[in-house]
C-alpha cells in the first residue's frame, strides 16, 4: 500500500473532510492508521506522555524517537512530525537543518511548525527544498508564555485581520495545509473560505476542511479535557478497572492460574 501523499491532502480543500488524530506510539498509530488521512506526532506528547507543563521543553530527539515509532507502526496515513520549540524560529537555515534531520531519521512525510506571517519565509525556504510544511496558527501553544496561557483566539473582532493575514501568508508561502487551533467559529469559517489550502481545525468548529484531536483526549485518558474535545471512549476508567482487578488477583494468589503456568 502506498501512503497518502501531501498533494492528496492538499487536493482535499473544500471536499471530503480530512480526518486526523495525534499518535505517539507504534501500537496506537497502527489503529489510527486504519481511519486517519494523516497522523500528527504532535509536540503535545511532552505534556500528554511526559508530564511536562507546556510544550516548550520538548527536545528534538524526543520528537524523532516518537516519530520513528509512529512511522514503523503505520503504512497508510501521511505522518507529520511537529518541530519543537527552539528548532526552527531562529532562521530558515536552522529550520531546514532540523526539519531535514527529522525527515531523514523518522522517514515521515512532512513537518509542522507554529506561526503565521513571521514564519512565511521559513515555510517557503523548506518547501522549495523538498520539505512539505503544515502550518499552525491561532492558538499556538509554543508561544503560551507570550500569550499568557492557552487562550481562544478571535473573540475580539479587531484581532481578525491579523489571523487572516497569518493564514494568507502561510498559504502563499507554500504550506500544504494549516492547523487552526482554538479559534472562534466565524473567524475559522472566514479563513477557510479565504485560502486555497485545507484548514485543519482543533477547537475551531466544523467549518474547517478537516479535524484533528489529541488521541489521549478523545479516548478519555485525561481527567479533564477542554470544551472543544468530544470524548469518544473512556479508556482511563477501563485501565483503572483492569489494573485494580490485577492487583486484587495478585494479592489473593488468583493470578496466575493453571492457564498461565508452565508445567
Binding residue positions for Mg(2+): 43, 82, 114
Specify whether the CB–CB gap between 94 and 88 falls below 8 A.
yes
- Could you confirm whether 128 is annotated as catalytic? no
CB 178 to Na ion: min, Å: 13
Counting beta carbons within 10 angstroms of the beta carbon of residue 223, is it exposed (0 to 12), middle (13 to 18) or buried (19 or more)?
exposed
Q: Judged by CB under 5 A, does residue 216 bind Na ion?
A: no
Specify whether the CB–CB gap between 167 and 209 falls below 8 A.
no
Residue 13 CB neighbours (<10 A): 17
Q: Judged by CB under 6 A, does residue 82 bind ligand KIV?
A: yes
Distance of CA 159 to the CA centre of its chain: 25
Q: Of Na ion, ligand KIV, none, which one does residue 199 interact with (CB within 5 to 8 Å by kind)?
A: none
Q: Judged by CB under 6 A, does residue 22 bind ligand KIV?
A: yes
Q: Judged by CB under 6 A, does residue 217 bind ligand KIV?
A: no
CB 245 to ligand KIV: min, Å: 32
Q: Judged by CB under 6 A, does residue 44 bind ligand KIV?
A: yes
Residue number of the CB closest to ligand KIV reads 42
Size of residue set near ligand KIV by CB under 6 A:
12
Q: Which of residues 8 and 54 has its CB atom nearest to ligand KIV in the complex?
A: 54
Q: Judged by CB under 6 A, does residue 212 bind ligand KIV?
A: yes
Please name the helix (run of DSSP H) or strand (run of DSSP E) that holds residue 205, with its range, or none: none
Q: Judged by CB under 6 A, does residue 110 bind ligand KIV?
A: no
Q: Judged by CB under 6 A, does residue 37 bind ligand KIV?
A: no
Which of 6, 24, 68, 82 forms a contact with Na ion (CB under 5 A)?
Answer: 82
The single residue of 181, 185, 216, 248 carrying the catalytic annotation is: 181
For residue 169, what are the contacts with CB-CB under 8 A and spacing of at least 6? 116, 117, 120
Specify whether the CB–CB gap between 60 and 66 falls below 8 A.
no
- Give CA–CA dist 161/170, Å, rounded: 14
CB 242 to ligand KIV: min, Å: 26
What is the DSSP pairing of strand 199-202 with strand 210-213?
Answer: parallel
Q: In 3D, which of 8, 10, 18 has the Cα closest to residue 200?
A: 18
- Give CA–CA dist 109/115, Å, rounded: 20
38-67 residues in contact with Na ion (CB under 5 A) are 42-43
Q: Of Na ion, ligand KIV, none, which one does residue 214 interact with (CB within 5 to 8 Å by kind)?
A: ligand KIV
Q: Judged by CB under 6 A, does residue 202 bind ligand KIV?
A: yes
CB 260 to ligand KIV: min, Å: 38
Specify whether the CB–CB gap between 168 and 190 falls below 8 A.
no
Counting beta carbons within 10 angstroms of the beta carbon of residue 49, is it exposed (0 to 12), middle (13 to 18) or buried (19 or more)?
middle
Q: Which of residues 103 and 208 has its CB atom nearest to ligand KIV in the complex?
A: 208
Active site residues: 181
Q: Under the rule (CB under 6 A), what is the footprint of ligand KIV? A: 22, 40, 42-44, 82, 136, 179, 181, 202, 212, 214
Amino acid at each position: 500500500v502506498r501512503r497518502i501523499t501531501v498533494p492528496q491532502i492538499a487536493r482535499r480543500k473544500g471536499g471530503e473532510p480530512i480526518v486526523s488524530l495525534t499518535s505517539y506510539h507504534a501500537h496506537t498509530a497502527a489503529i489510527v492508521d486504519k481511519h486517519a488521512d494523516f497522523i500528527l506526532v504532535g509536540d503535545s506528547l511532552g505534556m500528554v506522555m511526559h508530564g511536562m507543563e507546556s510544550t516548550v521543553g520538548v527536545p528534538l530527539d524526543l520528537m524523532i524517537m516518537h516519530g520513528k515509532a509512529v512511522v514503523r507502526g503505520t503504512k497508510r496515513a501521511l505522518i507529520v512530525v511537529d518541530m519543537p520549540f527552539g528548532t526552527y524560529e531562529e532562521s530558515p537555515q536552522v529550520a531546514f537543518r532540523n526539519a531535514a534531520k527529522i525527515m531523514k531519521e523518522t522517514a515521515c512525510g512532512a513537518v509542522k511548525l507554529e506561526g503565521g506571517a513571521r514564519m512565511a519565509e521559513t515555510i517557503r525556504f523548506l518547501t522549495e527544498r523538498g520539505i512539505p510544511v503544515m502550518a499552525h496558527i491561532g492558538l499556538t501553544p509554543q508561544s503560551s508564555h507570550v500569550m499568557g496561557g492557552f487562550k481562544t483566539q478571535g473573540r475580539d473582532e479587531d484581532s481578525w485581520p491579523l489571523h487572516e493575514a497569518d493564514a494568507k501568508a502561510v498559504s502563499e508561502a507554500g504550506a500544504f495545509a494549516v492547523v487552526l487551533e482554538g479559534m472562534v467559529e466565524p473567524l475559522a469559517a472566514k479563513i477557510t473560505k479565504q485560502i486555497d489550502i485545507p484548514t485543519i481545525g482543533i477547537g475551531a468548529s466544523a467549518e474547517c476542511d478537516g479535524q484533528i484531536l489529541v488521541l489521549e483526549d478523545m479516548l478519555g485518558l485525561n481527567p479533564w479535557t477542554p470544551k472543544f474535545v468530544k470524548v469518544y471512549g473512556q479508556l482511563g476508567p477501563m485501565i483503572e478497572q483492569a489494573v485494580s482487578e490485577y492487583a486484587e488477583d495478585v494479592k489473593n494468589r488468583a493470578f496466575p492460574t493453571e492457564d498461565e503456568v508452565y508445567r
